[in-house]
Chains A and B, each alone.
Chain A
């Protein structure tokens, strides 16, 4: 929950509510981009953001993102975070 994980914004899905899809280590997840939309929502497509509990909280550069992901994967933290995302999807489906 406090960890945060980098994801690459691949499309904007709802301009009004600042929603987009991010690719987080191969998992596609809807993220809320309100906090990082300052420089224009569409400009975020292709950018890397640091995602905390489904919200993009900071724009980071690609090298930083890759290094963070590498460390998170090495230690199993990324898997935990992806598992939490999956659990969230299931919770929405009623489990």
Chain B
């Protein structure tokens, strides 16, 4: 219980823990037959490990670390396609720090930077826009990455570029959306997830409505959660209550920030700038229908794919990119990181083979750093 004492409200944490214990027994779960709860968002994975919440809940609860880390699911090919741009003259590549270490076939962005390519790590797409303003003789390309939380920032930056007529700014768009991979996971026959912890910050943008299908079509409970350790504990409890009481619905634990309908300004910017791609590849999960965003024709001049002719999947035959590592199985809860033969052997945060080892939100990196149940 030492872990609990570190909580801001240790008494409340203790009570929630006791309730979780009691309800999981009522639900018929035990150590050998645990309830599988998938936290969709990489931010939650991060919180769970940093605070040892996986160790705090009874062993009758097992967290499955979902596909919600955009760095982890980024196909290697997209890094390669982006780096192809570096071969052209007068290009400045910009990226969030998170994507700098993702291995591509010819190295990562960081390695290319070390080799002399002008790759700059930015905090915001607005930094990228500012670099474009300051370097009118260069083409500045931003590596757009992330779910619905960061996509509005990209969209608003493109709208701003259009307004100011900034002709040397474009986005290499890899934005993806949360609901489609959840559907794809649920459609797999041998998946036995009992409930979902919905992403707090994505839901701040899209609201809770887009998860209705999880409850209605697949009969699984969902609780959208905040990012404090207590938020997560409470959400586990709310899921258990639904399971024990035989209710199936989308509940919102994070109502301080999340509404049913989302943020109208963010949604309208997303809708104005982006459209859904027919399909997009998720590393470890394969192609998922309607899961990616691309820039609408109307904003083609700000679309690096259009401007430089590096369309999605155009560079090399996709076959060569099939992952030979079992990262996808880890992502849907069929394999624990330490059951992967590469884990901590030839796959480490310094020399990642799979993307789950790259980001601090990746399950394998988290197990490497904090350890999990062994």
Contact = CB atoms under 8 A, between A and B. Distances in A.
Interface of A: 1-4, 17, 30, 32, 34-38, 50, 52-55, 57-58, 60-61, 64, 67-68, 70-71, 75, 77, 84-85, 87-89, 91-92, 94-95
Contact of A52 (B127, B145, B149, B361): B149
B98 A1 contact: yes
A35 B266 contact: yes
Contacts of B124: 32, 53-55, 88
B147 A35 contact: no
Contacts of A34: 156, 265, 269
B8 A67 contact: yes
Contacts, number: 121
Contacts of A2: 41-43, 69-70, 98, 146-147, 149-150, 201, 361
A30 B125 CA distance: 12
B97 A84 contact: yes
Nearest to B135: A94
B35 interface: no
Interface in B103-131: 120-127, 130-131
B263 A55 contact: no
B150 A87 contact: no
B152 interface: yes
A71 B227 CA distance: 10
A54 B125 CA distance: 8
Contacts of A37: 265
Contacts of B127: 54, 88-89, 91-92
A53 B153 contact: yes
A57 B205 contact: yes
Nearest to B94: A91
A95 B265 contact: no
B204 A87 contact: no
Contacts of A38: 264-265
Nearest to B97: A84
A1 B257 contact: no
B153 A55 contact: yes
A39 to B, nearest CB: 11
B213 interface: no
B257 A32 contact: no
A68 B122 contact: no
A74 to B, nearest CB: 9
Contacts of B41: 2
A92 B130 contact: yes
Given A1-B96, A2-B201, A88-B123, A58 B257 contact: yes
Contacts of A84: 96-97, 121, 123
Top 5 A-B pairs ranked by shortest CB distance? A54-B124, A88-B123, A91-B120, A88-B127, A55-B153
Contacts of B97: 1, 84, 87
A85 B125 CA distance: 12
Contacts of A95: 120
B268 to A, nearest CB: 10
Contacts of A54: 123-127, 153
Contact of A35 (B8, B70, B98, B265): B265
